[in-house]
Amino acid sequence: MDQVVKDVFRAEGTAVNWALLREGRDLTLVDGGYPGDVGAVLASIAAIGHRPEDVRAVLVTHAHVDHVGALNHLHERYGTPALMHPDEVANATGERHESATPADVARRAWRPSVLRWSLAITRAGGTQHPVAVHAEAFEPGTPLDLPGRPVPVHLPGHTSGSAAFVLPAAGVVLTGDALVTGHPLLRGSGPQLLPGFFHHDLDAARTSLARLGAVEAGLVVPGHGAPWRGDLARATERAARLIA
């Protein structure tokens, strides 16, 4: 668990990140790890002196299995709502599937790093399709009335309803998988997209990089990889060039 800036914390589970935004006694949890990461999510809340009851909502960058693991636990125990872009709700409720298949991953499993990762995520529930029937849409485009006052930015491509969350006062953007900085399936680190087969619509993901590049934030907290500080416009241009 690191505090990336005041009241913004980032924790890492099974090669995936989530974040906690603090405002007084209240928290917003951004993403929820794999199903096997629920204990680690709860531990990260405790590590900053909070209780799960303090989480006002889970904000979801996108509803892939590595980002929604804690949603049902928090909803069943504490009634915590799960909010996401309107175009993402069907992915969370299981009415739609926009994710890579185990076969996509298996084709690449000859690399030792990929094999290690795929065994780890399988143990963490990575082959499941968790369904969160309580998923709700937030109102896009306006600051959300939640701790941290995150502003959603719709970045379709990785999934139809992928979103980043900008924290204007902190100069931070939480990018989910619309821009990552490291992953066991990537050869290098730094701002880039995940491999193409992970994206529902790679062309849209490329277009969304330009939209993300216009966001004013100097610190990226991605869904995968370490926080990154720098010029976001240049970073997203570089990420778009790496696809081509």
Instruction: Give the residues lining the site for Zn ion (CB under 5 A).
Output: 66, 177, 223
Look at residues 123, 121, 87 and name the one whose alpha carbon lies nearest to residue 104: 121
Minimum CB–partner distance for residue 53 and Zn ion (Å) = 27
Residue whose CB is less far from Zn ion, 88 or 177: 177
The residue among 131 and 233 lying less far from Zn ion, judged by its C-beta, is 131
Q: How far is the CB of 180 from Zn ion (least distance, A)?
A: 8
- In the complex, minimum distance from the CB of residue 25 to Zn ion, in angstroms, rounded to a whole number: 30
Please, what is the minimum distance in Å from the beta carbon of residue 65 to Zn ion?
8
Q: Which is nearer to Zn ion, 13 or 223 (CB)?
A: 223
Cβ atoms of 27 and 147 within 8 Å: the answer is: yes
Sequence-separated (6 or more) residues with CB below 8 Å from residue 145 = none
Task: Compute the distance between CA of residue 215 and CA of residue 210 in angstroms, rounded to an integer.
Answer: 9
Q: Are 13 and 37 in contact (CB under 8 A)?
A: yes
E strand segments, 90-150: 135-137
Q: How many CB atoms lie within 10 A of CB 139?
A: 12
Task: Report the residue number, 87 or 177, with the smaller CB distance to Zn ion.
Answer: 177
